[in-house]
Structure 1
């Protein structure tokens, strides 16, 4: 996922051909992410005290549920384990959409696991499966507004104040296979990509709805999680989070930055376990899928990483 941090040449981002909106699995948006932790209780406490999440509770299996300041019951879950991601949970609109997605996956020969548990924290049913790289995906029924969640949420009066989970970035060794799977099986639409000098993709950004991306793939030698993101209300809220977290002993790895792809203002840091997290806002929305052409950014153009001129440190890679 590295680029030449000394390269400073600028290129006008190019565009590809408009893409037809795929049928896919009916994914509407990201609902929450579930991360492994050797001590979920301590990870949850850190997320509340340092990162601005709210305790939603815990269950008998040792999972700790953390809410943002938006409408979702929870946006982040810690479950017993070592490290990494247990599932990216995507929202579909209703039970009919979930059943249609399950049928589509089964017809394509993709193994699925169904969950029907309904409890205080789990509003079943769910469908789980994996991408070719082993990235874990969950589909569940949830809140599916016509506008990004943060846009319809009242500005919290505290900082930091994550509102909702909006995207996840996964490391990918076989970019071509994962790009094809995201587009054809998941039914996500490409918003842009960052390219290496030979034209091969360094990063690719996919959206399910109007918001610029719910998933990004990053070229890597190994498969797995790169980072999880949570949206705050606006640009000033990112800066307020940076100030508050720094005073509270959280090391900011990178930022504030403004990315070229998506144009969001962001900061990056680690959670209690060491997972990279992002707080960001002002992400671009795409309103006309039929006429939108995915952008092509050069990896050597610093704006693809930060329009304000920085490159990510090695600790971010």
Structure 2
């Protein structure tokens, strides 16, 4: 149930200086399945069986490539293209950056984050792994200029605000009935995490076991968030980005529901079950890449 120009969050592309390590980690720990390779890019998907929900691009340094947003049909794509151009954001490609979609365009958004808005994601004929997540869900960005990023998503792309944390500290934004597809938290100017939906809290225990088998560990969780109500667990992937697996995310079916407002010092917005040292949690992230914008 989309209400604006964007219908859902489509994919995230990450640059990696060790692409085989990143791909192996995504397959062994997260449970993604490789769907295709093209030039310097590897495409992967969850049980959703799309051409790509994750793209790893072989590059000199780690970084965030593009964040893919699926438009609400051809009218949504045309409207988004016009609004982005009118707002003065640099267009880097008038056509889709990657194979596996019908049409799209890419541009440089606030704080040099790269976005691709597209339609027609293709399916992939893969057999999901036994521990594949259901699908890609959302990204969490930590912009330095929080209001500029908020204006971009709300005024230009028609996201709605689900929850507000503190006085200009964090916003959870939705483009459909799911509580958030984009989360914004004032920070260093990087992407903190990309998030994947799983069936239940049992899957969060299993990812902890898989990490242990690889001499790794969870960064945080399982936790029950107050904002969004989802149960989640987090770990750090080889690029330095954080990965979230979550279940039981709140859905909002009233398009006009006012935002829930949380005091910043009320830790229940972040975790209802326990208290964590968020200094380590927030110390991980990945800055926007400056090279190898698209697969070649």
Give the TM-score band, short-chain normalised: 0.7 to 0.9
Instruction: Give unmatched runs, 5+ long, in structure 2.
Output: 123-127, 283-296
Displaced runs of 4 or more, over 6 A: none
The verdict on how the C-alpha distance between 1:281 and 1:207 changes in structure 2, with shifts beyond 3 A counting, is same
The verdict on how the C-alpha distance between 1:313 and 1:246 changes in structure 2, with shifts beyond 3 A counting, is farther
Aligned equivalents of 2:21, 2:34: Cα separation in 1: 12
**1:272 aligns to what?**
238
Asked if structure 2 preserves the Cα contact closer than 8 Å seen for 1:242 and 1:256, the reply is no
Please state whether the residue corresponding to 2:228 is helix, strand or coil.
Answer: coil
Normalising by structure 1, we get a TM-score of 0.80
Aligned equivalents of 2:28, 2:17: Cα separation in 1: 18
Q: After TM superposition, give the deviation of residue 299 of structure 1 in Å.
A: 1.9
**2:157 aligns to what?**
186
The verdict on how the C-alpha distance between 1:312 and 1:232 changes in structure 2, with shifts beyond 3 A counting, is farther
Matched, 1:215 2:182: yes
Aligned equivalents of 1:77, 1:22: Cα separation in 2: 27
**1:235 aligns to what?**
201
Bigger relative contact order (CA 8 A; separation at least 6): 1
**2:269 aligns to what?**
304
Q: 1:258 aligns with which of 198, 215, 224?
A: 224
Aligned equivalents of 2:97, 2:206: Cα separation in 1: 37
Normalising by structure 2, we get a TM-score of 0.85
Aligned equivalents of 2:214, 2:21: Cα separation in 1: 16
Q: Deviations over 1:28-75 (max 9, x none)?
A: 111110011002222101211222111112112x11111111142221
Q: 1:125 aligns with which of 99, 103, 114?
A: 103
Aligned equivalents of 2:268, 2:77: Cα separation in 1: 39
Asked if structure 2 preserves the Cα contact closer than 8 Å seen for 1:305 and 1:312, the reply is no
Q: After TM superposition, give the deviation of residue 103 of structure 1 in Å.
A: 1.7
Please state whether the residue corresponding to 2:100 is helix, strand or coil.
Answer: coil
**1:73 aligns to what?**
51
**2:145 aligns to what?**
174
Q: Deviations over 1:267-298 (max 9, x none)?
A: 111112221111111110000112x1101112
Instruction: Give unmatched runs, 5+ long, in structure 1.
Output: 1-20, 145-155
Matched, 1:158 2:125: no
- Equivalent pairs, count: 275
Aligned equivalents of 2:259, 2:192: Cα separation in 1: 23
Aligned equivalents of 1:22, 1:68: Cα separation in 2: 25
**1:43 aligns to what?**
22
The structure with the largest alpha-carbon Rg is: 1
Which stretch shifts more, 264-273 or 110-119?
110-119
Q: After TM superposition, give the deviation of residue 162 of structure 1 in Å.
A: 1.8
Q: 1:244 aligns with which of 210, 213, 221?
A: 210
